[in-house]
Amino acid sequence: MGPTASGKTDLAMALADNLPVELISVDSALVYRGLDLGSAKPSPEELVHYPHRLIDICDPSESYSAGEFRRDALQAMDEISAAGKIPLLVGGTMLYFRALLEGMAKLPGADAQLRADIEARAEREGWPALHAELAEVDPELAAELHPNHSVRIERGLEVYRLTGEPLSKLRREQAGGGVQERYKVNQLAIMPRDRALLHQRIELRFKRMLNDGFVEEVRDLRARGDLHEDLPAIRAVGYRQVWQFLDGRIDYDEMVTAGIAATRQLAKRQLTWLRRWPELQTLHTQNTDGEERENDEILAEALKFLA
């Protein structure tokens, strides 16, 4: 695991060259077909040589939850293990990792009218105002979230209004049934020592995505006619900003700036999760003097942890 643009996929593919593993993607954007460039999905050529499970399993018009991921990941892990190989999970969707490791709380289903009310308020007042409201009733959850993380703010408020209990409290009380009851788990995180270097990599990658046709990819998604900005797929980092550009709400330069900023915020949230993650072995992408380490050096360190 690790923040976006840290080199997770490259390390996973290198591990696959050295160990009898099969890869399972842990990424809430890679599950969607057609979200390729903007999600940094492995290329078709890479997927031929290094197949990933749980990539391209949903249409962008659909929603995919942490609970569905847990179900699908456990099934994939069982199949891989039965074939005599090791499941290697790779990605940056920390909520998915937690669902797998800790199990899922039994929570109420979605309430369409309540969600419509919350979204109407967000339209009038903005998501930061609702984030502040969430902080009053569930400060633990609010501390995990960016003030514009609409999906999880909405869910936190929805669960509180339906149950009268904070979502974080329900998760903690109902934890159990995690993957560690069935598997021996080694947890590795690839992380920078210097966030400035990660920011530089994020900017370079976002601009490379645009050069490779990211805007055209989103234009094709819009041309379908059945997708809109409130869908989880279109709310993915980068996709929302390009969608707004194609809507004419921001210009090209504003889109680039907003897309890079949103990706940096994502990385910040991921790093916050990882810094308090238990039983985690950290692989730094830089030496103590700030110099970037060679990929082979990082791979050798990872293999030592997995020996």
pLDDT in tens, 151-162: 899 999 999 999
pLDDT of res. 153: 94
Average pLDDT over residues 1-22: 97
State the chain's mean pLDDT as an integer: 93
Count of residues making up the chain: 307
Q: What Rg value do the Cα atoms of the chain yield, rounded?
A: 19
pLDDT tens across 213-253, in order?
Answer: 999 999 999 999 999 998 999 999 999 999 999 999 999 99
Strand bridging mode 52-53 / 21-26: parallel
The stretch 181-201 carries a mean pLDDT of 92
8-104+182-306 belongs to which homologous superfamily?
Answer: P-loop containing nucleotide triphosphate hydrolases (3.40.50.300)
Q: Which two tokens stand for residue 138?
A: 């569930």
Residue pLDDT, tens place only, 282-292:
999 999 888 88
Whether 175 shows a pLDDT value over 70: the answer reads: no
* Residues in CB range of 35: below 8 A, 6 or more apart: 29, 41, 60, 217, 221, 233, 236, 239
Ranges of each domain in the chain: 8-104+182-306, 112-173
Query: Does 8-104+182-306 match 112-173 in CATH topology?
Result: no
Residue 226 phi, psi (nearest 5):
-110, 5
Looking at residue 268, what is its pLDDT?
A: 94
180 pLDDT above the threshold of 80: no
Q: Which tens digits make up the pLDDT trace of 197-208? A: 999 999 999 999
Class of domain 112-173 (CATH, top level)? mainly alpha
pLDDT at 181: 74
**Contact predicate 190/8, CB 8 Å:** yes
For 15-71, how does the pLDDT look when each residue is reduced to its tens digit (9 = 90+)?
A: 999 999 999 999 999 999 999 999 999 999 999 999 999 999 999 999 998 989 999
pLDDT of residue 103: 81
